[in-house]
């Protein structure tokens, strides 16, 4: 099954810090981690690393970060035919990170300029949406629904009511769930989504998964994160890979947990990691 990830492609500047700066404070960190990010691109990257057929749609700038990002995705097998190169600076994110805590500043840049490429939907079984270009994502969602393709909504487009109306499934975190439903109780919240398929990652690890009235909690070993950047995107990739194979919601949640755990122990959205054996075996 082919997955299309439509949305953000970014250039990330990660600054690991010992603490968050105070007001007006200038502080130093020992190093900077430069790399590629963006929720849609990250999920596409990890799906490709898991051996899935995957395409990405969106836009990058006609600049060095944009060209290098496309080359990086192509090198792991991601189809980038749906990505436009535009005369706008590539999307950029600056992240201050310390263990479980992080602060992020994003400049959408080229992410708001992509065009709709209907041909990239050919052969798709799932479309995953997460990005800043709401009108573009609505086009992909509507076209996918007409073709009978499952539409998952990620964290990057929860403020777009027109996208939410098209979503069959959700892959989000607990804060996003509460903001979306207004419900503090997570089990009540995920059931209120009434989604064909949904997963909510938990702040202490693990996730809740649901399919309509089916609800389960999938535990994960507790770890002390090195950096949380991109862990949710990796979770989405593990979940979608298992979904494409027809696995149960519990297995999807476990695969998402496994991949997210590895990313949590590295720096940046796409650290050099070994894919867990359970995910390589298939």
Pair of tokens at residue 103 = 């602060």
What ranges in the chain are assigned the alpha helix state H? 39-49, 64-75, 134-146, 161-164, 174-181, 186-193, 231-244, 249-264, 277-280
| Selected catalytic residue, list 84, 168, 227, 233 | 233
Query: Which DSSP letter does residue 8 get?
Result: -
Q: In angstroms, what CA-CA distances link 96 with 23, 126, 204?
A: 15, 33, 20
Which long-range CB contacts under 8 A does 140-148 form with residues at least 24 apart?
Answer: 140/4, 140/6, 140/57, 140/116, 141/166, 141/167, 142/166, 143/116, 143/118, 144/4, 147/121
Question: Under DSSP, is residue 56 helix (H, G, I), strand (E, B) or coil?
Answer: strand
**Residue position matching structure tokens 């430069």:** 34
Q: Is 276 exposed, middle or buried (0-12, 13-18, 19+ CB in 10 A)?
A: middle
Name the E strands within 22-145: 33-37, 53-61, 79-86, 91-98, 101-107, 124-130
User: Is position 175 annotated as part of the catalytic site?
Assistant: no
227: left (phi over 0), alpha (psi -120 to 50) or beta: beta
Give the number of residues written for the chain.
282
* Catalytic residue set: 233
């Amino acid at each position: 099954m082919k997955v299309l990830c439509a949305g953000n492609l970014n250039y990330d500047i990660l600054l690991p810090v010992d603490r968050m700066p105070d007001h007006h404070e200038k502080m130093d960190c020992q190093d900077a981690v430069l790399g590629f990010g963006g929720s849609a691109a990250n999920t596409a990257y990890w799906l490709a690393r898991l051996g899935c057929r995957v395409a990405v749609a969106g836009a990058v700038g006609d600049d060095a970060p944009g060209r290098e990002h496309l080359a990086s995705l192509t090198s792991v097998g991601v189809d980038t035919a749906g990505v436009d190169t535009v005369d706008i600076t590539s999307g950029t994110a600056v992240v201050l990170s310390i263990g479980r805590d992080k602060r992020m500043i994003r400049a959408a840049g080229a992410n708001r300029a992509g065009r709709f490429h209907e041909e990239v939907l050919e052969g798709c079984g799932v479309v995953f949406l997460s990005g800043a270009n709401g009108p573009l994502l609505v086009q992909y969602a509507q076209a996918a629904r007409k073709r009978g393709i499952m539409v998952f909504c990620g964290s990057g487009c929860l403020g777009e009511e027109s996208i939410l109306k098209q979503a069959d499934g959700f892959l989000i975190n607990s804060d996003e769930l509460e903001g979306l439903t207004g419900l503090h109780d997570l089990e009540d919240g995920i059931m209120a989504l009434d989604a064909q398929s949904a997963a909510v990652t938990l702040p202490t690890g693990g996730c809740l998964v649901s399919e309509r009235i089916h609800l389960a909690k999938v535990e994960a070993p507790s770890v002390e994160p090195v950096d949380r950047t991109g862990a949710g995107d990796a979770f989405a990739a593990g979940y979608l890979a298992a979904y494409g194979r027809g696995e149960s919601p519990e297995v999807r949640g476990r695969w998402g947990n496994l991949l997210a755990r590895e990313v949590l122990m590295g720096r940046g959205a796409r650290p050099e990691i070994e894919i867990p054996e359970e995910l390589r075996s298939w």
